[in-house]
Amino acid sequence: MNNSHLLLLILFLGICHVSWAVEKKTYIVHMAKSEMPLSFEEHTNWYDSSLKSVSDSAEMMYTYNNVIHGFSTRLTHEEAELLLEKPGILSVLPEVKYELHTTRTPEFLGLDTKTEGFLPNSESVSDVIVGVLDTGVWPESKSYDDKGLGPIPSGWKGECEIGKTFSASNCNKKLIGARSFSKGYEATLGPIDESKESKSPRDDDGHGTHTSTTAAGSVVDDASLFGYAQGTARGMATRARIAVYKVCWIGGCFSTDIMMAMDKAIEDGVNILSMSLGGGMSDYHRDSVAIGAFSAIQKGIFVSCSAGNSGPTPYSLSNVAPWITTVGAGTLDRDFPAYVNLGNGKNFSGVSLYSGKPLSSTMLPFIYSGNATNSTNGNLCMTGTLIPEKVAGKIVLCDRGLNPRVQKGQVVKDAGGYGMVLANTEANGEELVADAHLLPASTVGQKAGDSIKDYLFKDSNPTVTIDFSGTKVGISPSPVVAAFSSRGPNTITAEILKPDLIAPGVNILAGWSGGIGPTGLSIDTRRVGFNIISGTSMSCPHVSGLAALIKAAHPDWSPAAIKSALMTTSYSSYKSGEKLLDIATEHQATPFDYGSGHVDPVSALDPGLVYDLTVDDYLEFFCALKYTDAQINNLAKRKYTCDAGKNYSVSDLNYPSFAAEFDSVTSGSGSTGSSSSPSVVKYTRTLTNVGAPGTYKVTLTSESESVKISVEPNSLSFTQQNEKKMYTVTLKASSMPSGTKSFARLEWSDGKHIVGSPMAFSWV
């Protein structure tokens, strides 16, 4: 290398280093409030002084008072490192981007007129406030009608934020609060483009309106999407109040905004927090949602989050902190069949929400997209990949993947195609998600798709038509675990089984934004009051609304008690006795797929016994995780020192389910901790009686002999409410090959109640 080239290289590296050093990013700064020097009267003055000590130009974006003590700001990497060394600084965490986890449901869950006697009265439900962090609210939706509701709860401290396209009059006695948070978003991606989305609580996306009305929407008669799923739409807790916190924008949801929204929600006085979003996995003391949720549960607020849409891949969960209720997705007993009829006489069942002019009964020419393109991924019907001369006047088979399902149909339509058959590939298997297509279209499973392709490849003149059959109910088996629903095991703490439970999350009808069409595509000019969409984003608010019902029935219950009631009364078998199925494998699902099982709200209102937890229990859990004093302070917002003489165990957290990891090499060589367990594991659990006096006896069912399970004592007698009784579970595991999984179930019953707990074991 000559001298001139060497000089250029040095200059290039120098420029790169300078740009890295001066590039500012958003950070959330956690302060130890108790360590504020006496020279400061206000903690905000101390925060500002600490910040100015490393950067004269830096400004505080948000100041947090409830989820943490601290602030958010923009700093260079070097400034962030310097700030971390200052007195009273617990942590300086970089901004994290989160993503959204995107009628008949009450009847399917048993919340109909036949069970009204089991439900809390409307006055107590109307005292419960459900806070929803999402894309905002479309206040004109009929699902926010406040007819029949009394005055807003006296403890409510929130507000209806005034902004462009949003005024105080948009709130009422149902929608009692609406705020938006965008400083973190704008600091990273620049000013919000108000020609594309409202810089206010108004929902231009639809997702937030759908989730909040699923949780607590008012009763709306004759609701449907283009006639599909027609009937009475209602949220889970129809009389509960709704407060909306807009934290998600076109470019995503940012942790600084999420934390500020949680901070305000706690201050405003919500009882339930529902968050259908998730980001990357990290330890609890570095996870903004986990940190905010821990502050919420300390105030008695129940927090539910979506498990994620990364299934059926193992270890794909989001939001796994034990104080968060992590919700996976299952199907309803409702479908929207659209039959694909081939020229050879064979018929295949698919699904669709298409509502336009139907195809004629005559057969139409049929072509595979991979044979109508010059592109290597033309089989996916990506924009601009189809050749119009080959597609015009035909129905096109497209493979699912990469681009949105409905967009594929528009690509076919733009190329002159008359319709589309959308075929699942191995990634989605037999899972069928219905869409409001812009042209006649049906989605079929992988097996049907392969058979249809076989016909296309072998027949010299293939033809097809699609018949749309509206809405059908009573589909069996149901529920089944959705393929997209994220799965365990838990990557952060293997001894905490996640998800906690599943709820309806496939083809769910709920309120929608008037600012966007049902497909979410800009080319979709249709406007609807209700939409049908799928995701763990939809299952999460079901549980949030059900938690509101339990809170109304039992206002003195802790978030952990409510969670326990939901988990221990969930079911993991059909009425026939067969285990719940996983649509991804078409075989029996496991607790790593559904947690405790599918939610059963009527049973959850009267669980008999609960596994309760206090803040101190969680602090001891942190000690078992070997967290430092600073890391615990980061979560608890107070000083707490673990007792060096005490033997803390993760397995002693009073959780309603059980999980263990064993060493696969030699049964006795494992070490205690969150990553592995010895061949003998002991759990202690405490049950609290929340029902009538009675004696509960234990039963165990196990899939294999690889783990021997014993419970002492085998019966528990309760003479009064709130009485507590302890029991011990001992596991003795055999050595098994790495990757082996085994499951069991523990149940306590007094003859009326069944208090069930799943048990999941894996060898690593």
Q: How many CB atoms lie within 10 A of CB 150?
A: 12
Is 12 contained in some domain?
A: no
Tell me, yes or no, whether 223 and 286 share the same domain: yes
The string of DSSP letters for 640-689 reads: ----TTS---GGGS--SSEEEEE-SS-TT---SSSS-B-SEEEEEEEEEE
Average pLDDT over residues 143-151: 95
Q: Which of 468, 500, 532 is the last residue of a domain?
A: 468
The answer to whether the CB of 466 falls within 8 A of the CB of 313 is no
Tell me, yes or no, whether 256 and 356 share the same domain: no
Eight-class DSSP state of 359: P
Q: Among 94-103, 117-126, 390-399, 580-589, which is the least confidently predicted range?
A: 117-126
The answer to whether the CB of 411 falls within 8 A of the CB of 385 is yes
Residue 103: pLDDT above 50? no
Please name which of 654, 762, 633, 760 lies closest in space to residue 702, comparing C-alpha atoms. 760
pLDDT value of residue 109: 55
Is 11 contained in some domain?
A: no
Is 557 contained in some domain?
A: yes
Q: For 433-477, what is each residue's pLDDT tens digit?
A: 899 999 999 999 999 999 999 999 999 999 999 999 889 888 889
Q: Which residues span the domain enclosing 636?
A: 614-646
Residue 125 tokens read as 């439900």
Is 751 contained in some domain?
A: yes
Is 1 contained in some domain?
A: no
The string of DSSP letters for 460-527 reads: SS-EEEEEE---EE--SS--EE-TTS---S-SS-TTS-S--EEEE-SSEEEE--TTS-TT--TT----
**What torsion, rounded to 10 degrees, do the Cα atoms 239, 240, 244, 249 define?**
-70
- Domain of residue 33, CATH code: 3.30.70.80
Residue 247 tokens read as 């934290």
pLDDT value of residue 121: 58
Q: Which of 66, 93, 120 is the last residue of a domain?
A: 93
Is 555 contained in some domain?
A: yes
Residue 729 tokens read as 């579970």
pLDDT value of residue 8: 45
In the chain, the N- to C-terminal Cα span, in Å, equals 51
Tell me, yes or no, whether 152 and 87 share the same domain: no
Please name which of 631, 630, 629, 678 lies closest in space to residue 650, comparing C-alpha atoms. 678
Tell me, yes or no, whether 293 and 360 share the same domain: no
pLDDT value of residue 119: 53
Report in angstroms the alpha-carbon separations of 216 from 181, 272, 317, 697: 22, 11, 26, 37
Residues marked active site are found at 134, 207, 537
Q: What is the mean pLDDT of the chain?
A: 90
Q: For 240-255, what is each residue's pLDDT tens digit?
A: 999 999 999 999 999 9
Residue 91 tokens read as 């942590």
Tell me, yes or no, whether 180 and 312 share the same domain: yes
Q: Is the dihedral of CA 637, 642, 648, 649 positive or negative?
A: positive
- Domain of residue 358, CATH code: 3.50.30.30
pLDDT value of residue 278: 87
Tell me, yes or no, whether 243 and 213 share the same domain: yes
Quote the number of domains for the chain.
5
Is 699 contained in some domain?
A: yes
Eight-class DSSP state of 403: S
User: Given the DSSP bridges, would you call strands 463-468 and 220-225 parallel, antiparallel or unpaired?
Assistant: unpaired
pLDDT value of residue 676: 46
Please name which of 657, 355, 308 lies closest in space to residue 531, comparing C-alpha atoms. 355
Tell me, yes or no, whether 134 and 81 share the same domain: no
pLDDT value of residue 306: 95
Residue 102: pLDDT above 50? yes
pLDDT value of residue 671: 38
Report in angstroms the alpha-carbon separations of 59 from 40, 52, 74, 500, 533: 18, 8, 7, 40, 41
Report in angstroms the alpha-carbon separations of 162 from 74, 89, 132, 157, 507: 27, 35, 18, 16, 34
Is 516 contained in some domain?
A: yes
pLDDT value of residue 479: 93
Tell me, yes or no, whether 70 and 114 share the same domain: no
- Domain of residue 145, CATH code: 3.40.50.200
Please name which of 658, 656, 659, 652 lies closest in space to residue 755, comparing C-alpha atoms. 656
Give strand pairing partners of 588.
581
Eight-class DSSP state of 218: P
Tell me, yes or no, whether 315 and 358 share the same domain: no
Average pLDDT over residues 747-753: 96
Tell me, yes or no, whether 464 and 534 share the same domain: no
Tell me, yes or no, whether 166 and 273 share the same domain: yes
Tell me, yes or no, whether 190 and 218 share the same domain: yes
Q: Among 142-146, 369-373, 473-477, 541-545, which is the least confidently predicted range?
A: 473-477
| Sequence-distant (≥ 6) Cβ neighbours of residue 674 within 8 angstroms | 492, 493, 494, 495, 625, 650
